[in-house]
Amino acid sequence: MKKGKQRIAIEIKEPDTLEGILKIVTKGWLSSKVIIVSFWHNVLKRIKEIEPEIKTGAIFVGRPVDAVSLAKAAQSELLCLKHKFIDEEVVVECHENDIGVNAWVVNEIEDIERMKELGVDIISSNYPDRV
């Protein structure tokens, strides 16, 4: 990990938790240190209405046909995909559209190395020391 580049990822699993999470996150320094991710893309749009400076990531199951358009529709800076669905094409397309790529959950060394080679922006792992 690059010093100073780490962020805390907070996943919104239920839409009704948004207000409470934003109250905590917007206190002090925390809003610049978090990325809020969710499968609930309407919640991500709501975050941008309330706190536009908070970074967000749209999580997808599988790999949508037009993931970039969906991430843009959610007003997200990140496309969050399971690492098995990430290839050079998706990384290039995202980067051409100013969208970062978050690979999750990458635990095996060979998968971590592959994600680094592809140029993903964030590698989410249960073993950050391996990253």
Predicted pLDDT at 4: 59
pLDDT of residue 82: 97
User: In which band, very low, low, confident or very high, does the pLDDT at 41 lie, cut at 50, 70 and 90?
Assistant: very high
pLDDT of 1 above 50: no
Buried b (16+ CB within 10 A) or exposed e, 49-77: eeeeebbbbbbbeeebeebbeebeebbbb
Region for residue 23 given its phi and psi (left: phi exceeds 0; alpha: psi -120 to 50; beta: otherwise): alpha
- For residue 85, the tally of other CB atoms under 10 A from its CB is 14
> Is it the case that residue 114 has pLDDT exceeding 50?
yes
Place of tokens 């990253």: 131
Q: What is the DSSP string of 60-127?
A: -SS--TTHHHHHHHTT-SEEEEEGGG--HHHHHHHHHTT-EEEEE---SHHHHHHHHHHT-SEE--S-
* CATH classification (class only), 8-130: alpha beta
State pLDDT tens for residues 42-51: 999 999 999 9
Tokens of 95: 């980067």
User: pLDDT digits over 9-28, tens only?
Assistant: 899 999 999 999 998 888 86
* Average pLDDT value over all residues in the chain: 92
Q: Domain ranges in the chain?
A: 8-130
Mean pLDDT over residues 96-120, rounded? 97
Kindly tell me if the per-residue pLDDT of 38 is higher than 50.
yes
Does 40 score more than 70 pLDDT? yes
